[in-house]
Structure 1
Amino acid sequence: MVSIILAVYNAEKHIERTADVLLNQTYSNLEIIFVDDGSTDSSPQILDELAIRDKRIFVIHQNNMGPGVARNTGLNNAHGEYVIFLDVDDLFEKDLVRTFLDKAIETSADMVICSALRYDEEFSLLKPFPGALQYNMLPYDRDSFSPEDINDRLFQITGGFVWNKFFKKSFLDKYNLRLADTYCYEDMALYCTAAVSAKKIAVSHKELVKYRVNAGLSISDNKDKYVEDLITVIRLLRKYLDDNSLYIIYEQTYLNRVLSIIVQVFMSYHSQKAFERLFYYTKENLQFEFKAHDKDYYLNENNYQIISIFYESETPLDFALKIHTRRTKASQDVFYKYWPVPYELLAKESRVALYGAGNVGRDVYIQLKKSDYCNVVLWVDSAREKYAHKGFPVRDKKDMLNEEFDILLICIKGEEKSVAVKEECINMGVPADKIIQYPEFEDKDALIRRLTENE
């Protein structure tokens, strides 16, 4: 049996639709536990009526104590061999449970992570959600692995949320793994402690969840108010690593994860009090550890640049002024050591040819092949023999003339070389309007307009 746990707070417009999808899963041996966390709308009544209609639905009512406590209440009352925590306002595939369960049994994994899409309710749009499963951080050649196989980036393979993760309950109980008793970042505590404790982790490349944004419901929309919760979870995670002699193994992924969240809060804060609280906490408790490592230790160059500015800032105001220009264009200032797919430039299910098999090209190729977002019909490089010898299916650039594709994505980091390759491809007969350079060396807005006009 599989236990599905949903914390509910004032979610009356989503409950019946979600219950219907879950009750009609292709795997039916379920218990669906709704924990009403002190709702003040009609959610309690709707839940009680659903429990009468189907014996697989169980409802627990409690005073409002936050999503961490609510989910733990559900977990403590679960009877399934496996458990999954879902958000009541999200959308789910009908084979969600079956897919998770099959993967868990097939791989004997303690935890399975799936891919996902982002559903923007305001515009009724489905968008890629690379943060659900970062393919470029995973082992290249397998879908299940030991956490120590990727100990330097374990916390970066997925977001800290739990709604795309499937756990063996006996594993959670053995290590007493639970969510933090907080209103925010509570799920990060469970994911990270489970990840380092698991014997095996598996991934499913199916997009089983559509995560709803701009719905005005999720507590994650208001994280700037919960700096105290973030500090609590940072301390809980560090204590768990220390108590279990795991810090030395996972120090790099831990510091990168903590730094990433701290920078995110600094760059998006709306509360002066919260900003100042996090500034002084970081100065007193984390700066020494961050500063002990050089640039190459950090997986995100932008985070390193921000924390370097932080080192030089004596007061919160000084720091805020120094990062102000970065904050106003933060979405344009993120540079990755690992290269995420530029999904916004690619149409779903389009035929893509890749040029370049270096770091950028390999990262993009691996992600596209595993995500099924686009169909990679060709991968070429001028040094084909070098990469083919390593086992990558790289072909000669002349093959571009014999293959049908919608987009040629040039994946070359240096602008001068990328421009030279683009000119070479045009001279070979590739239409210029099919070519995209990644990283983008032309204005992104202009590039998107060009691509849209050509559709």
Structure 2
Amino acid sequence: MVEVSVIIPVYNASDYLEESLDCILNQTLDDLEVICVDDGSKDNSLEILNEIASRDSRVKVFHQENRGGGAARNVAIPHATGNYIYFMDADDKLKDYALEKCLDISKQKNLDFLLFKAINYAEDTGEYFETDDYSMNEIAEAVGDKVFSYDDLGDLVFKMSVTPWCKFYNRNFVVNSGAKFAEGLIFHDNIFFYDSLFYAERISFLDEVLYIRRRHSASSTAAGDRRYINYITISDMIWNIFFKHNVFDTYKAELATKKFGVINYWYKNIQEEHKQAYFDEMKGDFERIAEDKKFYEYITDSLVDWQRNILDSGLEADIPEEYDLMMENYDLEIENRHLRELLDEPIYKIAVSKIRK
């Protein structure tokens, strides 16, 4: 048995694969295995993997027909023999001491998983930049270097990055939790993360950037293509996980914000040619919520105005253009409301009265 199993799903990553694998194989921690699952790549990724495996026995290569990164990770987990599991993406990089440091902290604190920071690398410009999603500064400030669980965070659980590559997992914990990645869908990491989060009793945060996430046009969530429709299914799966762990009522308001806000966000950002298909899925999802009147009332009593407007507009509109008009009208109403409130302030009333004189 090795100390760490690194799991890497691979799909058409030939431009970056050798660099990413080098940063794992050249870690200061040598006692590791690298489990690569080629997810039906159409380039020469599989050939690159086999060539690297031929010269480094720590690399194990599996191949499957294209089923998505979630399925690839699920396939790899049973093959992992390490005491700990780390999930890596095939086009990103990890600092060379990262695994050793994560291992030391995880052993010392007897953790279910360790959370750490990541930074973005813009391939087009060569610039590095931080984002709140991966810096998680609010989490760092709240927990320090203490051991904690979700119960200690309140609504900060939604400030934790769902990505698997900024976490270092105890393998027995992963196996015993039974957490799985959603298959055939992008945003599949949401499901694994929330399920494992609610099982975890011992989590810690390392306030240090260890992971470099490459941002480029080929990224699975950068294209705005038909796969964005997946989020509607994922949002239902997230709700189901919160129900499963009996915490839905605790986080109902935040879950409503996450579901309706993000669904509307992806609607606005999907390519025009897929907008009708997205709208149809969105409307169908909202209609399923409305069909159960008791559940509909339970959900809507926690919605603020803009969330309720997204739900009501999705239910009432028959075509995307009608939904767009309803959303625009709502924005105008909010703007007018703010102007009326502004004009009601004493200083503006005095100014208006002077103008009229």
Give the TM-score normalised by the residue count of structure 2: 0.81
CA RMSD of aligned residues (A): 2.5
Q: What is the identity, as a one-letter code, of the residue corresponding to 2:100?
A: R
For structure 2, list consecutive stretches of 5 or more residues without a partner in the other structure. Answer: 291-295, 332-357
Which position in structure 2 is the counterpart of 1:317? Answer: 321
Is the aligned partner of 1:46 residue 2:48?
yes
Which position in structure 1 is the counterpart of 2:350? Answer: none
For structure 1, list consecutive stretches of 5 or more residues without a partner in the other structure. Answer: 296-303, 328-455
Q: 1:6 is paired with a residue of what secondary structure?
A: strand
Give the alignment partner of residue 129 of structure 1, picking from 128, 131, 143. 131
Pairing 1:203-282 to 2, within 5 Å after superposition: 203-214=205-216, 216-222=217-223, 224-270=225-271, 271=274, 272-282=276-286
Q: Distance in 2 between the 1:147 and 1:188 partners?
A: 15
Pairing 1:360-379 to 2, within 5 Å after superposition: none
Q: Distance in 2 between the 1:111 and 1:135 partners?
A: 18
Contact 1:139-1:150 within 8 A present in 2 as well = no
Q: Distance in 2 between the 1:254 and 1:99 partners?
A: 34
Is the aligned partner of 1:149 residue 2:158?
no
Q: CA deviation at 1:106?
A: 3.0
**Relative to 1, partners in 2 of residues 1:289 and 1:126: Cα closer, same or farther, differing over 3 Å?**
farther
Identical positions, percent? 25
**Relative to 1, partners in 2 of residues 1:307 and 1:109: Cα closer, same or farther, differing over 3 Å?**
farther
Contact 1:183-1:219 within 8 A present in 2 as well = no
Contact 2:144-2:205 within 8 A present in 1 as well = no
Q: What is the identity, as a one-letter code, of the residue corresponding to 2:155?
A: D
Q: What is the identity, as a one-letter code, of the residue corresponding to 2:277?
A: K
Which position in structure 2 is the counterpart of 1:292? Answer: 301
Could you list the per-position Cα deviations for residues 364-421 of structure 1 after superposition, in whole angstroms to 9, with x for gaps in the alignment? xxxxxxxxxxxxxxxxxxxxxxxxxxxxxxxxxxxxxxxxxxxxxxxxxxxxxxxxxx
Q: CA deviation at 1:227?
A: 4.8
Which position in structure 2 is the counterpart of 1:19? Answer: 21
**Relative to 1, partners in 2 of residues 1:325 and 1:46: Cα closer, same or farther, differing over 3 Å?**
farther
More helix by share: 2
**Relative to 1, partners in 2 of residues 1:257 and 1:306: Cα closer, same or farther, differing over 3 Å?**
closer
Pairing 1:387-426 to 2, within 5 Å after superposition: none
Which position in structure 2 is the counterpart of 1:186? Answer: 188
Q: What is the identity, as a one-letter code, of the residue corresponding to 1:276?
A: D
Q: What is the identity, as a one-letter code, of the residue corresponding to 2:202?
A: K
Could you list the per-position Cα deviations for residues 78-125 of structure 1 after superposition, in whole angstroms to 9, with x for gaps in the alignment? 111111111111122111212222232233221212111111111111
- Paired residues in the alignment total 317
Q: What is the identity, as a one-letter code, of the residue corresponding to 2:118?
A: A
Taking CA–CA contacts closer than 8 Å with sequence separation of 6 or more, which of the two structures ends up with the larger relative contact order? 2
Give the alignment partner of residue 118 of structure 2, picking from 116, 135, 144. 116
Q: CA deviation at 1:283?
A: 4.4
Q: Distance in 2 between the 1:13 and 1:220 partners?
A: 18
Contact 1:138-1:150 within 8 A present in 2 as well = no
Q: 1:211 is paired with a residue of what secondary structure?
A: strand
Q: CA deviation at 1:181?
A: 1.0
Q: Distance in 2 between the 1:85 and 1:3 partners?
A: 8
**Relative to 1, partners in 2 of residues 1:197 and 1:141: Cα closer, same or farther, differing over 3 Å?**
closer
Q: Distance in 2 between the 1:258 and 1:106 partners?
A: 37
Q: CA deviation at 1:323?
A: 3.6
